[in-house]
Structure 1
Amino acid sequence: MPLIIRDFRPADADAVLEVRRAAVPFLVQTREALIEAVAHAPAAQRARLLVAELDGAVVGVCRTGLEHGTSEPGHAYANPQVHPERRGRGVGGALLAAAERHVGAVGAVRVHSWVLDEEGPRAFAEHRGYTSSRASHILRLDLAEAPLPRLPELPAGTGLRTLGSLRAEPRPLFALESEAVLDEPGDVVTDTLDFDTWFADTFVHGGIDQELSTVVVVDGIPAAHSYVETDGRDRLASRGTGTGRAHRGRGLAKLAKTDSLGRARAAGYTAAFTGNDDTNAPMLAINRGLGYEYFTGERRYVRDL
């Protein structure tokens, strides 16, 4: 049967998640979160989830669309992933070409893609005109065996909240995140977060676990957070850890992440993944102090259309 590239359908969810589990096990999501994220992606993002079907089976997937939350126009993303047993048959190239056609048609002039830092994936990207721009470390924590630091006694005025408990009062949390993302290393600055889009991604359709994600509050105001997403089975992955500028240097990011990991362990999760830009020394130090170990690397590749 010929190779078919088409848009995702809800019935594809289980197959897509199995492709990702085999190709990029550090990217985790539940079936329900995947379907919700595709159905409710912001219109301005022009997002599509493409799937590759070969011999009647889903063997590859590619998220693509325009970068949002930035004042820099024309940036897009395309992240093809192919089941390791089905590589070398043109699946990844077909997915990437379809993604480039899509984002080019909706105004993109530059495409960004995350690529495993291995010889084959790097050669795939470079053969198609992509240039490496930055590196990222993917770290893994064995939640079943590795000891977690004990939570310290909290200073006066400092408390720990679940993310879900802040849904009724989200504006201070939005202010915290809008500030924290400005200092994240990256090729595209996130400087125009929209509240409604952020709220939907954080509390409604984005897949962030509301009970396992922790927010540190100081005098009742969010000061640091650690968000996670799970696969609903045994793995979780960081969806962002940040601290407001006025509260940095006090260990609040580590406090938030330690509490979140403890909740996850108690819920039965056995593996935790996180990714850090290789220039982000503070977060790399926090994660290694928590017991994370190197799992694999990624490189960010860029191509001008």
Structure 2
Amino acid sequence: MTVLVRDLRPADQADAEGFVRVRRLALPYILFTPESVRHTAVHSHPGARYRPLVAEEDGEVIGTAQVYLAHDSPEPGQGCLNVYVRPDRTGRGAGRLLVQAAEEYLASLGATKLFAWALDEPANRAFAERRGYRQGRSGFFLRLDLAHGTLPPPLEVPAGVELRTAADFAGDPRPLFDLDAETVLDEPGDIQAEFTDYDAWLAQTWNHPLLDRELTTVACADGRPVAFTVAHTDGDTRYVTAMTGTARAHRGRGLAKLAKIHGLHRARAAGVTEAFTGNDTGNAPMIAINEWLGYEKCATEVRYVRELG
């Protein structure tokens, strides 16, 4: 059996479904749908030079890679490759071939530092370290059982604060972009990002097919968004928090906690049964909020880094 690596064909339904199948089996804590796979392939910022790859064996997609430049970072030359292989198809060389193709592509674009996520399991760690990657930061995946778990009651909305949804900003989402751009500056991680391109944000974030505007919850003060929790849903029963943040001038008031608890209650009422979120392991305040909400840690992911000569 021969494993071949090639570019994903976004318009090919079978390719998109194969990509989703691999990710659901290898990384069930993040949502992917054929529509979201196509959207990312088509609407990623040109500066990212985004290139999705698949590893194919006998016509079946058994591995995937998302390969791109960190174009929104103030530090140039940073590339990312996130490689996942179906757990029942490992040991066939798919991961090795995907990494090789991704590294060659990023090097050709001038990348000098490569970042790759890997689940914190012995085989994954050994795979990365054999290829010259060193451990960087880590993050937790957390899961909340909305069907059978216990969710604290909604918090009282303080005076001067109004809870709204992203759908309320459909006519002018610019205030949400401004809040997103401010909060991402303080998000812990190996790669710092800066959002400066509103049109790109509209294409990639606001019009993302997983974005649930009705369940994305926004705390407003003086009519302006000051805290939010962004909801991604698969159109069925699964929910992922894509981002939670508070404007700097309004921190320390529990507004992120307020938005999250109200958003989760609304998600449960809408039929969501399973919610996931992720946190940098050093983000103690947000981890504490999520554990108060009833989330439980279900996996750890490690960021690996390799310097290119």
Shorter-chain TM-score bucket reads: over 0.9
| Equivalent in the alignment of 2:262 | 259
User: Is residue 139–residue 273 contact of structure 1 (8 Å, CA) maintained in 2?
Assistant: yes
Larger mean Cα displacement after TM superposition, 238-247 or 263-272: 263-272
| Equivalent in the alignment of 2:220 | 217
What do the CA deviations read for 1:1-54 (whole angstroms, capped 9, x no partner)? Answer: 421111112321112111111100001122212211211111111001101101
Q: Could you tell me how far apart the structure 1 residues matched to 2:123 and 2:194 are?
A: 34
Tell me the CA shift for residue 159 of structure 1.
1.3
What do the CA deviations read for 1:253-281 (whole angstroms, capped 9, x no partner)? Answer: 11111122122212222111111111101
Residue 270, structure 1, aligned to residue 273, structure 2: yes
| Equivalent in the alignment of 2:4 | 4
- What runs of 5+ residues in structure 1 fail to find an aligned partner? none
Tell me the CA shift for residue 152 of structure 1.
2.4
Q: Secondary structure at the match of 1:183?
A: coil
Q: Could you tell me how far apart the structure 2 residues matched to 1:189 and 1:275 are?
A: 17
What do the CA deviations read for 1:99-152 (whole angstroms, capped 9, x no partner)? Answer: 111111112111101110110100010001100011111111111111222222
Task: List aligned pairs for 1:181-200, cutoff 5 A.
Answer: 181-200=184-203
Tell me the CA shift for residue 192 of structure 1.
4.6
| Equivalent in the alignment of 1:250 | 253
Q: 2:75 aligns with which of 67, 72, 76?
A: 72
The number of residues matched between the two structures is: 305
- What runs of 5+ residues in structure 2 fail to find an aligned partner? none
User: Is residue 141–residue 276 contact of structure 2 (8 Å, CA) maintained in 1?
Assistant: yes
Residue 283, structure 1, aligned to residue 269, structure 2: no
Larger mean Cα displacement after TM superposition, 227-236 or 3-12: 227-236
What do the CA deviations read for 1:224-262 (whole angstroms, capped 9, x no partner)? Answer: 011122233332211110001111111111111112212
Q: Give the TM-score, by structure 2 length.
A: 0.95
Tell me the CA shift for residue 168 of structure 1.
2.0
Tell me the amino acid that sits aligned with residue 51 of structure 2: R
User: Is residue 63–residue 85 contact of structure 2 (8 Å, CA) maintained in 1?
Assistant: yes
Q: Could you tell me how far apart the structure 2 residues matched to 1:103 and 1:158 are?
A: 46
User: Is residue 119–residue 302 contact of structure 2 (8 Å, CA) maintained in 1?
Assistant: yes
| Equivalent in the alignment of 2:144 | 141
Tell me the CA shift for residue 200 of structure 1.
1.8
Larger mean Cα displacement after TM superposition, 75-84 or 23-32: 23-32
Q: Could you tell me how far apart the structure 2 residues matched to 1:206 and 1:77 are?
A: 23
User: Is residue 33–residue 205 contact of structure 1 (8 Å, CA) maintained in 2?
Assistant: yes
User: Is residue 69–residue 194 contact of structure 1 (8 Å, CA) maintained in 2?
Assistant: no
User: Is residue 6–residue 54 contact of structure 2 (8 Å, CA) maintained in 1?
Assistant: yes
Larger mean Cα displacement after TM superposition, 266-275 or 187-196: 187-196
Task: List aligned pairs for 1:79-158, cutoff 5 A.
Answer: 79-158=82-161
User: Is residue 157–residue 220 contact of structure 1 (8 Å, CA) maintained in 2?
Assistant: no
User: Is residue 7–residue 48 contact of structure 1 (8 Å, CA) maintained in 2?
Assistant: yes
User: Is residue 236–residue 269 contact of structure 1 (8 Å, CA) maintained in 2?
Assistant: yes
Tell me the amino acid that sits aligned with residue 246 of structure 2: T
Q: 2:59 aligns with which of 42, 56, 59?
A: 56
Q: Could you tell me how far apart the structure 2 residues matched to 1:206 and 1:46 are?
A: 21
Q: CA RMSD in A?
A: 1.4
Structure 1 segments (4+ residues) deviating >6 Å:
none
User: Is residue 154–residue 265 contact of structure 2 (8 Å, CA) maintained in 1?
Assistant: no
| Equivalent in the alignment of 1:171 | 174
Q: Secondary structure at the match of 1:76?
A: strand
Q: Secondary structure at the match of 2:72?
A: coil
Tell me the amino acid that sits aligned with residue 4 of structure 1: L
